[in-house]
Homo-oligomer: A and B are copies of this chain.
């Protein structure tokens, strides 16, 4: 038998499989749930809500495209398309960066802010109902820690490298 060179990969144990399935199912269900809720009540998918929320917390409600993409952990391309759409809705506008002619700011408009404010309660409610109302404080803490670790491991190596325009 000629199997010496065939590395059998290390499969997931039963325990691990249960955890992994829970992950796949929970995330599928929750993303769908939030997308549907926001689409219905505010006319945007979850990620667009997050985008508006990010901008709303930034100084002057404005962020450079790249910085926004990094905070949201999405590609620049995806962000470009998203901002284009939100711009059409009048919820975000762009502005050139004076110090770097390649650069663009995405800016939350007043209308965008007001849409966000309207959407927020329903969204928070959905999150609370799906997640926080069901988990004990200990469970919440453990969940957060585990996810934090996973996120850190997937972060592009030098995500924390200084953005030039922040010095």
What residues make up the interface of A, taking CB atoms closer than 8 Å to B? 9-12, 15-16, 18-20, 22-33, 50, 72-74, 120-121, 124-125, 127-132, 134-135, 139-151, 153-155
Q: How many copies does the complex hold?
A: 2
- A131 B30 Cβ-Cβ under 8 A: no
The secondary-structure label for the interface of chain A is helix
A42 to chain B, nearest CB (A): 14
- Bound Cα distance A146, B19 (Å): 10
Question: Which has the most chain B C-beta neighbours within 10 Å: A26, A73, A145, A148?
Answer: A26
Assess A18 versus B144: contact at CB under 8 Å? Given A10-B128, A25-B73: yes
- A9 B125 Cβ-Cβ under 8 A: yes
- Bound Cα distance A18, B16 (Å): 25
- Bound Cα distance A164, B31 (Å): 29
Assess A29 versus B73: contact at CB under 8 Å? Given A12-B124, A134-B153: yes
The 9 sampled A-B contact pairs (Cβ below 8 Å) are: A19-B143, A22-B147, A26-B148, A27-B147, A28-B72, A30-B150, A135-B149, A142-B146, A143-B146
